[in-house]
Structure 1
């Protein structure tokens, strides 16, 4: 099961990097959790834009991004201040099969694949980053110490969607 999740995540990251490497954009997959870096970094040197991307996939109705993963995306945006525009992007992919437990059995029910690209912004570095939750319908929440607050993270139009 863990290998399936890893390959699903890797495939999503690989596809994003491939799609981002167009025109003026250069993207690289950095290895994510094991390296203490974001999943993907993409730059447009012509327009001075940097994207620090954390990518998540799931068959459930909610996807969570842990605090430490948001923190490392933030650190990358702070490292490269030469870029005029720097964004933390959370990429969520809800798979076309929804995992449900029905009468004690795991079932996979068909549904539409959905992807969301959300911008996380901080005016200044918070003392503690939130856990971010995204639902299948695109609603986002910030979780601080078990307190859940609905937040409206703006959608980011990815370069390959322009």
Structure 2
């Protein structure tokens, strides 16, 4: 299979099971049953409101997010599902800092749980820059099913990739 291995970080046994389910067509059916509907967050303005609602609920003391948008330039193949950038600019005699979150456009078509997982991941970067234990604990605080959702997102990406190749 020429598609990127979105499950490369998982044990070989899990990867083999997922590939077997993918090739039999059962993986797509399973994900469709588990996550039957797309979300309604389609515009950048709606995405901004969605992410800020999560931030207000879980990360009130974190720095504000100035921009949240879907970005068609993010390539999922390059292992980026979203980005969190910290932009500093000098304006007059002051240093202005802004946080921007960009989410891959492919998530416009995703189930709401997948969008939430990506938003939680990017919001966690406001407090924890590295993917370490503290980062994942923060993700789990905001979304208790984070680990399962991350796996399911990767499986969903495999299904999409396989469908695009056929």
TM-score (norm 1): 0.29
Higher-strand-fraction structure: 1
Q: Compare CA radii of gyration and give the structure with the larger one.
A: 2
Task: For CA contacts below 8 A with separation 6 or more, give which structure has more relative contact order.
Answer: 2
TM-score (norm 2): 0.29
Higher-helix-fraction structure: 2
